[in-house]
Structure 1
């Protein structure tokens, strides 16, 4: 109908097989006459994040990793001061493993009630995991805290390194994901701006194509 402006049709979507090179191609083809200012900006954002994300990720990894390592070292030192290794005796026989002497039996632990003396000299009973087949009055070593409760042994050097490395890796991944999210957000905003500009340009151009002579 004369005088009616048809709705603007957005440009065809890019081939998803090449979507992963889109930011790089925008940067390499910066002299393309069809390239918009927003395309150039998106290319710069992609390049900046590509360079900054690994650098900032390494900084975060070493910073968080070192902080975590120092924290766990201090925690382990405190644990060694407040936890004590003592001997406890079983108050009853521990369950037997179905396959005594097997590799599985060597790794299996069963809960059993033990009796021990806490750092204050009080005789206590508690439950802990022991090897299968131990008989009543068998002796086992347990770790006891200052309150007289059974606890885990102090962290070892290997555990400290493992936990610190875990936090370092999480820090690097967090920075990387933040970079990906930042690029995705910027691309979305720029795409909406492109679509708005497309609509505006079409509103100016369409009358010349749709008006009858």
Structure 2
């Protein structure tokens, strides 16, 4: 009697003609096939979703930042102002000081700007002001928008990768728990028969 037809042959019967398990081999279980399918889906999500998320978030951030750049460029301009008093101090830091300037329409305005210490009263300083005549900071430039876009895009890509990794690890943990439970149940059935052969 051949080994293939023997009731004592080790392992399950050959599954060469079956299309259910395919090239994975006769020992491939449903959980193994599910794991391969699960990992392939995650790989596709990662390969497709990561660049899409990074590009989408980066472009959205860039466009939002560029709107701020254009708005500030339209609202802010530099004027030459004069210090109304000396800026006292011995360090290299800038300190708030009162300045006065005249608008294009002849209106005299005053405000507070950051000026290097030691600058004497009456010195000319360049300050940024709004259309309303309020001292403000320099407008952000396109470089800020580009940097923001790249940073947000990179963070979005890392977020997708982190989520995909967490899903992969969580899925494999649950799958292995199910496998261990199945193996334990199968062993409870097989072990008495298997150990019985050695007790005879």
Q: TM-score, with normalisation over the residues of structure 1? A: 0.67
User: In the alignment, which of 161, 181, 186 is matched to residue 176 of structure 1?
Assistant: 161
Structure 1 unaligned residues grouped into runs of 5+? 1-28, 98-107
1:204 alignment counterpart: 189
Give 1:130-169 correspondences, 5 Å limit: 130-146=115-131, 148-169=133-154
How much does 1:109 deviate? 3.7
* Number of the residue aligned with 2:76: 83
In structure 1, which of residues 68, 81, 86 is the aligned counterpart of residue 61 of structure 2?
68
* Structure 2: gaps of 5 or more residues: 1-22
Moved more, 160-169 or 44-53: 44-53
Q: Distance in 2 between matches of 1:158 and 1:146?
A: 24
Partner of 1:56: 49
Superposition deviation, residue 190 in structure 1: 0.7
Aligned partners of 1:86 and 1:142 also within 8 Å = yes
Matches of 2:137 and 2:173 in 1, distance apart? Answer: 50
| Structure 1 match to 2:37 | 44
Total equivalences in the alignment: 173
User: Looking at both structures, which has the greater relative contact order when contacts are Cα pairs under 8 Å and sequence separation is at least 6?
Assistant: 1
Alpha-carbon displacement from aligned partner over 1:83-118 (angstroms, at most 9, x marks no partner): 232233333224334xxxxxxxxxx54223132359
Structure with greater Cα Rg: 2
* Distance in 2 between residues matched to 1:187 and 1:195, nearest whole Å: 12
Give distance in 2, aligned partners of 1:113 and 1:138. Answer: 12
**Please, which moves more after superposition, 162-171 or 83-92?**
83-92
Inter-CA distance 198–79: structure 2 relative to 1 (3 Å threshold):
same
Q: 1:116–1:124: 8 Å Cα contact kept in structure 2?
A: yes
- 2:24 alignment partner, SS class: coil
Question: C-alpha separation between the residues in 2 aligned to 1:59 and 1:93?
Answer: 53
Q: CA deviation at 1:183?
A: 0.8
Deviation of 1:53 after TM superposition, in Å, equals: 0.6
